[in-house]
Amino acid sequence: MSALFLSLPSVINKNRIITEHLPQLRRSLDLNVTENKRLFAKTIFGITQIMEGTQFYGLFLPLLHLLRNGKMPGIGQMFRYTLRDESNHIELGRRLFLALVEENPDIMAPSFKEELMQFMQAGIDAEIAFIDDLLPEAIAGLTPDEIKQFVYYNANRRLLGLGYDPLKNKQGKIILDNPFPWSSEIIYLKKNENFFETKVTEYGKISNLQEVRTEAELFEGIEV
């Protein structure tokens, strides 16, 4: 099964886009050279804003949708924790990128900004190709078109967070609203709900379908 997954062109392409220039990042890289600083900045952007900040959300949304409908609650809860963790990585990457650019004004040239925008567009296109494989048609109240909008929504959040303009989708629309408003509610956890503090028994509880029967119960006490 994993071999089949790794042989899917859309998965290979998603991985390639993010990792293809990583081998150039070595300890010996001279970060006094503008081009090398750009490589570093582009890597932070690619990993935290494209992969973690955009592509992860497109992949995880169908699982959160299942959780919301009381299906696969155990794995759904794992992905809730994962996304909360990822939101820290995304914010760390955003701040790191902004600080790097602020301290090194030589990094940011119009051509480099354009390169970053094209990088994000390539990340979006790769994720959309993956969604075409993952969900070729609507299923259980989830349409591929809505998930693609969700990918653009997340990409645009990342771009706006760095002070860049949002991107238009293939229909020429700029998606700034979340097509799945419930997703942000489901990703945010209770303030006192901490992965490292949650007891094993609580995982036992959430894997019991009866414990997450209704949306009201699921969202009870969750900070928005």
Contact 199, 54 (CB under 8 A): no
Q: How far is the CB of 56 from Fe ion (least distance, A)?
A: 8
Q: Report 59-98 residues binding Fe ion (CB under 5 A).
A: 86, 89
Q: Tokens in use for 223?
A: 């900070």
Question: Closest Cα partner for 18 from 56, 61, 57?
Answer: 56
Instruction: Output the smallest distance, CB 110 to Fe ion, in A.
Output: 30
Instruction: Please report how close the Cβ of residue 89 comes to Fe ion at its closest, in angstroms.
Output: 4
| Residue number, 51 or 151, with CB nearest to Fe ion | 51
DSSP 41-69: HHHHIIIIIIIIIIIHHHHHHHHHHHHHT
Q: Measure the CA–CA gap between 93 and 100, rounded to whole angstroms.
A: 10
DSSP 99-135: HHHHH-TTS--HHHHHHHHHHHHHHHHHHHHHHHHH-
Q: Nearer Cβ to Fe ion, position 89 or 113? A: 89
Helix axes 144-161, 110-134, angle to 10 degrees: 160
Show contacts with Fe ion in window 126-185 (CB under 5 A).
none
Total residues at the site for Fe ion (CB under 5 A)? 3
Tokens of 204: 């036992």
As measured in angstroms, the least distance from the Cβ of 52 to Fe ion is 5
CB nearer to Fe ion: give 52 or 131. Answer: 52
In terms of CB distance, is 64 or 135 closer to Fe ion?
64
- Looking at beta carbons only, is 61 or 175 nearer to Fe ion? 61
Q: What is the DSSP letter of 142?
A: B
Stretch that binds Fe ion, among 21-29, 45-53, 68-76, 213-221 (CB under 5 A): 45-53
Using CB under 5 A, pick the residue from 37, 41, 46, 52 that binds Fe ion: 52
State which residue has the least CB distance to Fe ion: 89
Interface with Fe ion (CB under 5 A): 52, 86, 89
